[in-house]
A and B are shown apart, each in its own frame.
Chain A
Amino acid sequence: MTIAMRYSRDEQDAADIMSLAFVKVFKNINSFDETKGAFHSWLKRIIINEALDHIKQRNKFTNKELTTIEEPAISNTVVEKYDAAEIMQMVKQLPPATHAVFLLFAIDGYSHKEIASQLSISEGTSKWHLSEARKKLQQQLTGLYK
């Protein structure tokens, strides 16, 4: 449910994602191969895929090429001042494509190649969205506690 909550706009959306994901798990349980990985990883992948399908239904992912690489610096001390709900709120305020790329890369550990494949975008676009996410988060994190 935590995974679904991260990718969704609200609780109802998260519930829909969870129900659809579990239906897929029940229908495809025979295709699970424990030699290929843990059940938890398989389940997590299904939930993330379902969440991304939800996002793709609502938003078009356009290709944007990264021209300049910016590495905003954010201190851990700044992040520690915020609680989980505030952090969650800040991340959800990101534009849909940027929000998805940030979660896939920064939270769930996908590579840019995997993200590009999942969202049907180029690797350059994936990197652009990550850069945009970091910039916006820095503005929000540093802006409130100036």
Chain B
Amino acid sequence: MNDKKPYEILITEKMESFPIPDMADAIWAKIELQLDADPGIDSGEQPSTQSATVKKIAGIKKGLFLFITAVIIITVVVLLLLNKKRTDVNKNPDNPPVTTDIIPENSGINEPGMMPGKNNLQPFIYDSLQKNPGAFPYLIDSLTNQIHPDVIQDSLIQQNTIPDTPYDTTTIPSVIKKPKGVKGINNSDYKIISVKKDSANNN
């Protein structure tokens, strides 16, 4: 049972003389593909164990690196968001200071639905710009620290458009805003006063 039979030796000889198909190129191509995919040259005993350990360590290192990178990115994003929030709060305080030098309180602008504040500047700006486009730079210079940037932005957009509300001569002041530092001109300066050609009034 444990010995080779004579006919089995003959079978062996016949099988070893079996013609081999010419597949050398195809086989070498497969070998190249597999070696390119995983070169893994062994340098000692138990190659599979060693390479598995090395791969494990490399995997842990890679994971740690990704984790640290993610933490850094999240921290930077959070800091940026916080900084932006602080900047927005500083730019837009709840009660922005408004001077009365330029616009009097009794200017009569008090339409409902407009921007809240001590002086409702938005419609005034629109109408002033309509009347005096040349005053726009002075207007911005004097008001940039008093008016919400959105209002200014709206003004910039609408400076060449006609406002929706009809022009109301009774409520709109005839005052043109002057740059800061210059003593304001009040309504009385623009009153149309009839000048009597009377020598008695010149005194």
Chain A residues at the B interface, C-beta cutoff of 8 Å: 1-2, 5-6, 11, 14-16, 18-20, 22-23, 26-31, 69, 71, 74-76, 78-80, 82-85, 87-88, 91, 105-107, 109, 111-112, 127, 130-131, 134, 137, 141
**Quick check: A30 and B12 within 8 Å, CB to CB?**
no
B164 CB, min distance to chain A CBs, angstroms: 80
Number of interface residues of B (CB under 8 A): 33
**Quick check: A2 and B16 within 8 Å, CB to CB?**
yes
**Quick check: B34 and A20 within 8 Å, CB to CB?**
yes
The 4 closest A-B pairs by CB, nearest first: A19-B30, A106-B8, A84-B18, A74-B7
**Quick check: A16 and B30 within 8 Å, CB to CB?**
yes
**Quick check: A111 and B14 within 8 Å, CB to CB?**
no
A75 to B8, CA, bound (A): 10
**Contacts of B35-52 to chain A: CB distance below 8 A:** 35, 39-45, 47
Chain B residues at the A interface, C-beta cutoff of 8 Å: 1-2, 4-8, 10-12, 14-21, 23, 26-27, 30-31, 34-35, 39-45, 47
B141 CB, min distance to chain A CBs, angstroms: 78
Can you give 24 contacting A-B residue pairs, CB < 8 Å?
Answer: A5-B20, A14-B23, A15-B26, A15-B27, A16-B30, A19-B27, A22-B27, A23-B34, A26-B35, A27-B40, A27-B41, A27-B42, A30-B41, A30-B43, A79-B7, A79-B10, A79-B11, A84-B15, A84-B19, A91-B11, A107-B12, A112-B2, A131-B1, A141-B7
